[in-house]
Structure 1
Amino acid sequence: MKPAYGKEGIRVKESIQDRMTLIVIYILLSIILLLVLYPLIFVVSASISDPLTVSRGEMWLFPKDLSFIGYELVFANKEIWTGYANTLLYTLVGTAINLVMTIFAAYPLSRKDFAGRNVITAYIVFTMFFSGGLIPTYLLVKNLGMINTMWALIIPGAVSVWNIIIMRTFFQTSIPNEIQESASIDGCSNMQTLWRIVLPLSMPIIAVMILFYSVGHWNSYFNALIYLNDRDKYPLQLFLREILIKSQVDQMAGSMDLSVQKHLMEAEAIKYAIVIVANLPVLLLYPFLQKYFVKGMMIGALKG
C-alpha cells in the first residue's frame, strides 16, 4: 500500500480503517469488472465457437471447437451490408444535425444577456416530462411526407433536451463571460464569438455530444420499425432484431421438427457474430472518448 501525502508533501500515515476501506473498494470494483466483462467475453467466444457446443452449454467463457461459420454467413448476407451502410449514413447525418441543433439551442440559453432565456428553458424542459405520444408523432411525420425516408429517423429526434442542458451548463461554467465580452468589444458578432471563441474552447463537450448522439443513432431500431417500409432502407439493428426473433421461432419449432436443427445452429452462430459486427465500431470508439464521457456527465450534474 503506497503511503499517502498531504498538500505540503508531508507523509500521512494511513489508518487501518482507511486500508480496509480501500481493500473493500478494490474488491467491489473487481467484482463489478468481472460482471461487466463476462457477457462481452462470452459473446466473443460464442461467435467463434461451434454453435452446437454453445447451444449445449459446453462453452461458458473461452472459445471451444473453433468455428467461424457465423461470420461467414454474416459477410455473405447482402442485407447485413445494406443495413451496415444505412446505419452508418443515419449515424453520420443524424449526429451532425443533432450537434448543430444542440449548439444553436444551448449557446443562446447560456448567455446572460439573452432576454427570456429562463422562460424558454422552462418550456424546453417541460417536453422532457410530457410529450404528444406515438400516434400524434406518427401522424405528424406522415403529414410531413417523411414516411419511408431517412428523415423520419433523424428529424423527430433532431435535438435532445438533456443534451441541451448539459451543453448550456458547460458554456456557463467553463467559458468565462469576460472572454465573450472582450470579443464583443473587439467587434465580433454573436455568431463570430460562437465560431471563433466558444467552439474552439468547447471541444470536450462536443466530443461528449458526438458520443451521446452517435451511440443513440447506432443502436436505434424502433423508429425504423415504425416509419420504414422498404427493406433497402432498414438499419443494421432492425436486421439484427429480425434474426433474433427468427432464431427464437426456429428454436421452438426445432423442439418438434428435427429438420430445422441445422438452420437453428446457423441462426445461433449468426446471432453472436452479428452482435460483434454491429457493436464493434462503438466498442472501438468508446475508449478514446471515455474521459470526455465522464466529464460530460459531471458537467450535467452541475447546477446551471
Structure 2
Amino acid sequence: MTQLSTQAAPQPGKVKKKRDYNAITPVWNVIFNIIIGLFSFSCVFPFLFVIIISLTDEQTLVQEGFSLFPSQFSIAAYDYIFRSGSELISSFGVTLLVTVLGTLLSLVLVTSYAYALSRRSFEFRGFFSFLAFFTMLFSGGMVPGYIVMTQFLHLQNTIWSLIFPLSMSAFFIIVMRTFFQTTVPDEIIESAKIDGAGEFLTFVKIVLPVSLPGIATIGLFSSLGYWNDWFNALLYYNNPQKTPPLQFMLMQIEKNMDFLTKNAQNIGSFDMAASLPTETVRMAMVVLATAPIVLAYPFFQRYFVQGLTVGSVKG
C-alpha cells in the first residue's frame, strides 16, 4: 500500500495546468480571422465594384460587360455629372444643410419625448406611449401631410418642407425610451434632484452625456434618412428657381439622360445619344450619393463600440 500511494503522488516541482475552455488555439484563431475577413470583404466588395464600373469606359462596358479589370478606364460619367457646375455644388450644400439641421432637430425632439416616457413619475406616459406607437401602425397618409405642409404651414418651396416631415419617428422614440430605462440608473437622477437640479438640467447635464451611444445611433439613422431623401423634394419643390437637394438633382440628371437616349430618333442626334455614358453615370451617382455617408461613419463608430459594452461586467 505504501508503494502504491508513493507512485500515485505527484512529482515535486510539477504543477498540473487547468485547461482553459475559453482559449482559442492558434489554428482556430487563423480560421476565424479568415472567415471574418471574407465576410467583411463581401460587405465592401459591392461598393468597390460600383466604383470600378463608374470609372469604366461606356463602350468597353457595352462590349465586355461588367468586369473587375476593364480594358479601358474613363471619367466621362463624372464629367457628365459635373457639367452642371455650380448647380451640383449648390445641391450638395442644400442636402448638407438639410441633413445637419434635420438631424439636430430630430435628436432634440426624439430624446426629449423619449426621456419623458422613460420617467415613471410622468403621469401621462402611458397615453403618449400609445400615441407614438399608434402612428407606427396607422398613419394619416400622404394627402393630409401635403395639405398641412402647403395650405396651413405654407412651407412649400422652402427648406423646412424637407426637414419637418422626417423630424419625428415613433420607432426612434421607442428605441431611446428603452435605452433610457435600461442604461440610465434612477439613482443618478435622484441624486441630481437632491442636489437641486430640475428636470431640464438633469436631462441636459446627467442623462444626455450617459446616453451618447444611443444618441449617436439615432443620429446616424436620422442622417441617412435626410441624406437619401428625394421624395419630399418631389412633393414640395415645384419652383425651378429653387435649388433642389442632391438626390433629387441626380434623379433629374438621370431622367434627362434617359429622355435623350430614348428620343434620339425624334431629336435627330444619334451621335450625342450614343456617346452618353448611361450605365456608368448611374454608378457614378451611387458613388456621389454614398461616399459622404461612408466617410462620416468612422466618426460614429466609437459610440457604437461604447453601446456594445454598456451594461457589461468589467474586470
Residues 192, 172 of structure 1: CA spacing in aligned structure 2 closer, same or farther, 3 A cutoff? same
Q: Retained in 2: the 8 A contact 1:50–1:66?
A: yes
CA-CA distance at 1:193 after TM superposition: 0.4
| Map of 1:47 onto structure 2 | 54
CA distance in 1 between counterparts of 2:178 and 2:62 reads 50
> Quick check: which has more Rg, 1 or 2?
2
CA-CA distance at 1:23 after TM superposition: 7.0
CA distance in 2 between counterparts of 1:9 and 1:111 reads 49
Q: Retained in 2: the 8 A contact 1:247–1:264?
A: no
| Map of 2:295 onto structure 1 | 284
CA distance in 2 between counterparts of 1:112 and 1:71 reads 55
Q: Retained in 1: the 8 A contact 2:212–2:303?
A: no
| Map of 1:302 onto structure 2 | none
CA-CA distance at 1:106 after TM superposition: 0.8
TM-score, normalised to structure 2, is 0.79
Given candidates 180, 185, 198, the residue that maps to 1:176 is 185
Q: Retained in 1: the 8 A contact 2:78–2:281?
A: yes
Look up the equivalent residue of 1:285 and give its one-letter code. A
Q: Retained in 2: the 8 A contact 1:107–1:171?
A: yes
Offset from partner CA, 1:238-263 (integer Å, 9 cap, x none) = 11112233334444446998833544
CA-CA distance at 1:27 after TM superposition: 5.8
Secondary structure at 1:11's aligned position in 2? coil
| Map of 1:166 onto structure 2 | 175
Q: Retained in 2: the 8 A contact 1:250–1:260?
A: no
Look up the equivalent residue of 2:148 and give its one-letter code. L
Residues 45, 106 of structure 1: CA spacing in aligned structure 2 closer, same or farther, 3 A cutoff? same
TM-score, normalised to structure 1, is 0.82
Residues 181, 261 of structure 1: CA spacing in aligned structure 2 closer, same or farther, 3 A cutoff? farther
| Map of 1:236 onto structure 2 | 246
Q: Retained in 2: the 8 A contact 1:42–1:62?
A: no
- Which segments of 5 or more consecutive residues in structure 1 lack a partner in the other structure? 1-7, 300-304
Residues 296, 125 of structure 1: CA spacing in aligned structure 2 closer, same or farther, 3 A cutoff? farther
For the aligned residue pairs, the C-alpha RMSD in angstroms reads 3.2
2:78 paired with 1:71:
yes
- Which segments of 5 or more consecutive residues in structure 2 lack a partner in the other structure? 1-16, 311-315
CA distance in 1 between counterparts of 2:234 and 2:62 reads 29
| Map of 2:211 onto structure 1 | 202
Given candidates 279, 282, 285, the residue that maps to 1:271 is 282
**Segment drifting more, 144-153 vs 225-234:** 225-234
CA-CA distance at 1:44 after TM superposition: 0.4
Residues 64, 161 of structure 1: CA spacing in aligned structure 2 closer, same or farther, 3 A cutoff? farther
Aligned residues: 286
Given candidates 251, 259, 266, the residue that maps to 2:269 is 259
CA distance in 2 between counterparts of 1:241 and 1:298 reads 41
CA distance in 2 between counterparts of 1:130 and 1:105 reads 20
